[in-house]
Amino acid sequence: MSLRQRRILIGVTGGIAAYKVCELVRRLRDLEAEVRVVMTEGATHFVTPTTFQALSGQPVRVSLWDEHGEAAMGHIELARWAERVLIAPASADAIARLAHGFANDLLSTVVLATAAPVYVAPAMNQQMWAHPAVQANIGTLRVRGVGILGPADGDQACGDIGSGRMLEPHDLRDRLVASFGSQALHGRHVVVSAGPTYEDIDPVRFIGNRSSGRMGFAVAAAARDAGAEVTLVAGPVSLPTPPGVTRIDVRSARQMQDAVLAACQRSDIYVGAAAVGDYRPAGTADHKLKKVDGSPLHLELTENPDIIAALAAQPGHPFLVGFAAETHELASYAQDKLRRKGLDMIAANEVGAGKGFEVAENALHLYWPGGDLVLPTRPKTELARQLIEHIAERFLSGHGPTP
């Protein structure tokens, strides 16, 4: 396990768990990581900047108004330097300011200015952690792609027992190591499709599938962390582009097909995580259709192209990973789709009330010719990382098109 020459920025906010971050910095340095520390004013009441400077071997920044540090726009330099940003401990106040996009101190400004993946390690009283405002802010950060590490359950400094403890330094170290991935896909090109497709009925109405795009975006980020060059073909979603990923925005199934086929001309792996509509209106009205009282609207539909089947029919196609979202008979439908479309792997998940769509967690059942594996419920970011690991393993072992 090594982090040699990896650049990690640690943001320390005001909380008693700040003392644990001293151990984290030491452990990261033991793995040969380059570590820089930014502290809030509140954090300096728990641990001094001198301590972190001695442990990291780098100057510690505290103020946005440091004339020496900001002589050359130091906050931008820090933001560009970092490959990972970890805020630990992340207090309830820090989480709120990040969720609302504040930039009123050095740390929050760096977070807004960086293109690096950002992680937070919450640490607070168990009642504070359970408060709806804190949970809403955590939900906002998750949607934006921020990694939430913890918290853990146990005894707290205030005497309470419950969820809210910051993860231990070795856990945070291991999560940072895992975030860089195995680099198993270094030099490979991965195309991921994500989100829904919309098919216009008239200028103001459309039909489409339910999808937040979170799973597909998480898969794109995980493939990037595994060292791949990643192209993300996204339907209409309101999600930020994962840093380091090339994004192509589309609306309809036919637009998605054109973008995917073009991107896959030079790709090694295609992951079809998009919820592509099976049908579209046979024609699109050029004006808003008016409701006629008592008269039903008859909408003629025609079948959309099958993107992954079209890829499978091409000679020399990439390693193909499909998704199957089903409300029942998951195994039989998924395995039938795997065989019928000639896929190398399929990731099946149940959808319905509180499952699959518009939630932060999911579970997958992977199938491939001759085998299967269950990935139990967990945050989509973690699930995506596991999925990419298994895709890389199958791809590199030669089970599919020749790598």
341 is in an annotated binding site: yes
Structure-block tokens of residue 82: 């970092």
Q: How do beta strands 84-90 and 118-122 pair?
A: parallel
Work out the angle between the directed axes of helices 18-30 and 169-179 (0-180°, nearest 10).
50
323 is in an annotated binding site: yes
264 is catalytic: no
Query: CA-CA distance, 46 to 64, in Å (whole number)?
Result: 20
288 is in an annotated binding site: yes
- DSSP letter at 318 equals P
Burial of 345 (0-12, 13-18, 19+ CB in 10 A): buried
- Number of CB atoms found within 10 A of residue 144's CB: 13
10 is in an annotated binding site: no
Of 158, 262, 289, 373, the catalytic one is 158
Tokens 């925005």 belong to 249
181-193 exposure pattern, b = at least 16 Cβ within 10 A, e = fewer = beebbeebbbbbb
Structure-block tokens of residue 207: 């039909």
308 is in an annotated binding site: yes
- DSSP letter at 1 equals -
Q: Alpha helix locations (H) across 299-403?
A: 307-312, 330-340, 380-396
Closest by CA to 399, choosing from 320, 338, 337, 322, is: 320
Distances (CA, A) of 73 to 64, 66, 113, 120: 10, 10, 11, 24
60-94 exposure pattern, b = at least 16 Cβ within 10 A, e = fewer = bbbebeeeebbeeebbeebbebbbbbbbbbbbbeb
Does an H or E element contain 346, and which? strand 345-350
Does an H or E element contain 264, and which? none
Annotated binding site: which residue ranges? 278, 288, 305-308, 323, 337, 341
Annotated binding site for CTP: which residue ranges? 278, 288, 305-308, 323, 337, 341
As annotated, the active-site residues are: 158
